[in-house]
Amino acid sequence: MTRPPALLVLADGTTFEGYAAGHLPDDRVTTGEFVFNTALSGYQEVLTDPSYAGQIISFTYPHIGNYGVTPLDDEADRPWCSGIVVRELTHIPSNWRSVGPLEGFLRQHRIPAIVGIDTRRLTRHLRSHGALPGAFGHADEATLIAAAKLAEGTDGKDFVSMVSTKELYERGGGEFHVVALDYGIKTTMVQQLASRFRVTVVPSSLSADEIRSLNPDGVFLSNGPGDPAALSREIDVLEDLVGTVPIFGICLGHQLLATALGGSTFKLPFGHHGSNHPVKDLVTNKIEITAQNHNYAVRPDSLVRGIVSHVNLNDGVIEGIAASELDCFSVQYHPEAGPGPHDARYLFERFEALLRDSSLGVH
């Protein structure tokens, strides 16, 4: 397969040579913040995770696309990432579930890619220098260097309003009614909730009074993209809700809940993106292998209310908080794990137990 030569240029001037693939934009330039993902499989779930809005994903696994794509693996109705970086993109997939090659999927959804890149070198550079904005494409080098210098990261950016649902919708059934705030919710997350509860997924823009008017037994806070500190409206809503209804948050939802409890967040150097992060439950002392995708984390010792319940064994990052007196808890990692291990799916049962035992709620 003949591909046009392409360049990848980071904001610090570091340059990589490769070939343009996937969707080829008319201006031949793609910009975003470069991050790397270490998962060995699940590339379609990664691509369609709305939490990657504004970012360019570099896959550390060298062969991507081996088993093709299937609508069954979509975590959203479209990818929200800006582009992808791959060492080798397979054009002839082999899997009984496959409905086509990954490159066709990229073209269908207008996602540019650059292939043939030394992703090992790129990963080592990002680990040393942190996530960096930049550009790639098959434009001339001067154009790409200029675009890389102008490229922006995710600091101070609200991507949630872009990826959140515009209309509420319902899924599942059960004894309890859960309102799920969609900051960029994944399909697997909705499925896990809907297997236990009657779920109403709502736009992130709803006010606390609008949420209460839906008569929830509990409120769920989803994952999502961007800088939690930029979401002052969403934080205000949670400050109003905390202590009036049981709350469970994941990823961005965890960061927003922590902020509503008086905490603050900071940006990690290169984030956690993968499916093999060890986390310790400080209550049970059990170790879980978890799937993660976040660039920001809760700042240590910043919580005014609540306790730290989980920590990352690689770097000590806060992975969970709880405030039992307020009937709320959250985790930084992904218990629904699409892709990834299912060690932490017990947390959905913990949420169900909280709803059953809680004296809060609007009913």
Helix (H) or strand (E) holding 352: helix 346-357
First to last CA, the chain: 62
334 catalytic per annotation: yes
Got the DSSP string for 222-264? ----S-GGG-HHHHHHHHHHTTTS-EEEETHHHHHHHHHTT--
Give the active site residue among 288, 319, 336, 352: 336
336 catalytic per annotation: yes
294 catalytic per annotation: no
Give the active site residue among 177, 277, 334, 352: 334
**Count of CA atoms in the C-beta half-sphere (13 A) of 227:** 13
β pairing state of 30-37 and 198-203: unpaired
Bridge partner residues of 362 (DSSP) = none
Residue 156: left (phi > 0), alpha (psi -120 to 50), or beta? left
Peptide bond into 339 cis (omega under 30): yes
**Number of neighbours of residue 27 by Cβ within 10 angstroms:** 9
Q: Are 202 and 237 in contact (CB under 8 A)?
A: no
Give the active site residue among 251, 254, 277, 294: 251
Contact partners, residue 294, CB within 8 Å, separation at least 6: 51, 251, 252, 255, 268, 271, 272, 273, 332
Reference 309, options 324, 318, 320, 323; nearest CA is: 320
Catalytic residues: 251, 334, 336
